[in-house]
Structure 1
């Protein structure tokens, strides 16, 4: 089976289970596990920070990181209106941190700029919730935020005494695609969350990186939220193995993703945002997703997200997707398009597929394409 619903769908391998047997078996609630310590030190160094905390999920490490900065309500977080911390984390900022969220629509249709941020920082200390944290996301819907813009926003934030948090759930993807090191990304943020169960392919886990003091506070909060896990060494050992062996294969996955995106556009379907890394947002209109999803599963055991009645689909590739699966997808999509007399798009419509295009033609809210998938 080839599961293209998310890069969280990777299956643990026999090699991973064998590796788990070699892990230490201490109690991480009391910070007594060597394999966890090794992973945390590795990730802290990789991002250029002092310390790190191994957690169960990206949602947890995002919420822990933000909570550590949001100490004195009323305060607020400024973020992209499509940000995971705002749309897909169950209102966690309001629940855990008693903070407001100022969601901003990018003026360029793709990513937030310094000008977008500056125009939306709240300084109202009477009737408003002053901005305490700017939270960015890279990648966002698979698109890469330019490091130059991150640096501009970071400089602005620090000049205003505002903390910077990065939801780097797929930061490995951005780093592998651009050549920008994880450390270079990390230097612009006060806290960073990096998911290990997405493109990196680990079975479970996410990392929060920051200062020693913040991580000590986050560890206390993790226990408060019920996230203190006991013998987590086997998960940490596997996660570090995945970082070292699977992350370097991401360029191959990006190339396959690009091949699939270009092929679908050539057939006549519309790409909604640029294909920078391992995600494709495609509109199969006038067909529904089900028109392709059902035969893809029945004939090739290829699974894609299939929201009833929807024409927009998020497709996500990962290291366990093969070139043969992509070929089979395109052959079947070509047959279905011909049967339904789908016309090829003109050059203006298909130009958004260009890797060099970092800005979409218009802002697109894609949350309906994956309402329950991270």
Structure 2
């Protein structure tokens, strides 16, 4: 199947599986897994931080960061459509007792500096005290500009806030801009990086920050059930992705661009944007249920909706892109659906 639902559907390559099978392991809760320790250290070094913490998922990594930065009853600011606010099961509130202050996004995905300033609450006992600003890069495939990043993190620090970056697809941003991961992590007290999306590992994220922060985060990881034993098997897959799959993200970006260009030739489809490895479409609502079924019958998986996201990744080839465009064209040529 050609699966365009998300880049989370990627499968480990044969070379990655071999690296995982040959990984040297130990009990990571005891700090005895050498593969995990080496991987955490390398990721932290790349981001310019002192320490790293391996976690099973990006959601848990973000939650551990929130619980390390904020006490119960305190508040973090995030975009209304950010993953950390909208798509992580309300974990901050349910498990951390942390209040979320969502704010609207600007058209480019950023959060207006004036809005951030107005959203910050001080020591008034009537309010939850604001402790953290959480940003996301990429956001729905869009790269957050470095200049904005510097301004937003400086504003937060000037108001006594900590800063966290959900960098689930930060490597996509690095490849798209030619910037280093370290540059994209500047100004943030913590950064979460995911290896199970475009980089193709089966599981694993790393939270990085200064040593004291990561020491506290390690305790919260244990509390949340994220302490794993011979997890070097997973870390080896992530290490292989870090070593071999970063530069090739440019291929995914090129495939997304070709997909957008091909679908733009279909009158019934409005291509609303193409950012890094994501293509956003407006589809006729009446077609959506039938379209999904028709494409699946031809070996294509997508979640057709009036506003649809298609995501390219390492399991999608150039031939697959051409096939998908042709299949969509043939579908809309039919007189009756």
TM-score (norm 1): 0.86
- Aligned pair 1:302/2:300, yes or no? yes
Q: Tell me by how many angstroms 1:221 deviates.
A: 1.1
Please state whether the residue corresponding to 1:266 is helix, strand or coil. coil
Distance 1:98 1:169 in 2: 24
Please state whether the residue corresponding to 2:54 is helix, strand or coil. strand
Q: Tell me by how many angstroms 1:286 deviates.
A: 4.9
Please state whether the residue corresponding to 2:264 is helix, strand or coil. helix
- Does the 8 Å CA contact 1:62/1:193 hold for their aligned counterparts? yes
Give the stretch that moved more between structures: 43-52 or 17-26: 17-26
Cα offsets for 1:314-350 (capped at 9, x unmatched): 2111011011111111111112223359xxxxxxxxx
- Aligned pair 1:334/2:321, yes or no? no
Counterpart in the other structure of 1:242: 241
Counterpart in the other structure of 2:49: 49
Q: Tell me by how many angstroms 1:119 deviates.
A: 2.4
Please state whether the residue corresponding to 1:19 is helix, strand or coil. helix
Query: How many residues end up aligned between the 2 structures?
Result: 336
Distance 1:82 1:68 in 2: 22
Please state whether the residue corresponding to 1:144 is helix, strand or coil. coil
* 1:27-66 matches, cutoff 5 A: 27-66=27-66
TM-score (norm 2): 0.95
Counterpart in the other structure of 1:322: 317
Q: Check 1:123–1:266 CA distance in 2 against 1; reply closer, same or farther (3 A cut).
A: farther
Q: Check 1:95–1:117 CA distance in 2 against 1; reply closer, same or farther (3 A cut).
A: same
Distance 2:92 2:61 in 1: 12
Distance 2:139 2:255 in 1: 19
Counterpart in the other structure of 1:75: 74
Counterpart in the other structure of 2:19: 19
Distance 1:287 1:261 in 2: 21
Gaps of 5+ in 2: none
Cα offsets for 1:238-260 (capped at 9, x unmatched): 11111111111011110100111
- Aligned pair 1:187/2:186, yes or no? yes
Q: Check 1:44–1:286 CA distance in 2 against 1; reply closer, same or farther (3 A cut).
A: same
Cα offsets for 1:156-178 (capped at 9, x unmatched): 11111100000111111111101
Gaps of 5+ in 1: 342-374
Counterpart in the other structure of 1:225: 224
Q: Tell me by how many angstroms 1:133 deviates.
A: 0.3
Counterpart in the other structure of 1:159: 158
- Does the 8 Å CA contact 2:108/2:142 hold for their aligned counterparts? no
RMSD: 1.7
Q: Tell me by how many angstroms 1:16 deviates.
A: 1.9
Q: Tell me by how many angstroms 1:108 deviates.
A: 3.9
Give the stretch that moved more between structures: 162-171 or 5-14: 5-14
Distance 1:188 1:340 in 2: 55
Q: Tell me by how many angstroms 1:143 deviates.
A: 1.3
Counterpart in the other structure of 2:111: 112
Structure 1 stretches of 4+ with a deviation exceeding 6 A read none
Q: Tell me by how many angstroms 1:297 deviates.
A: 2.0
Distance 1:59 1:21 in 2: 26
Cα offsets for 1:146-196 (capped at 9, x unmatched): 111111001111111100000111111111101121101112100011111
Q: Tell me by how many angstroms 1:22 deviates.
A: 2.1
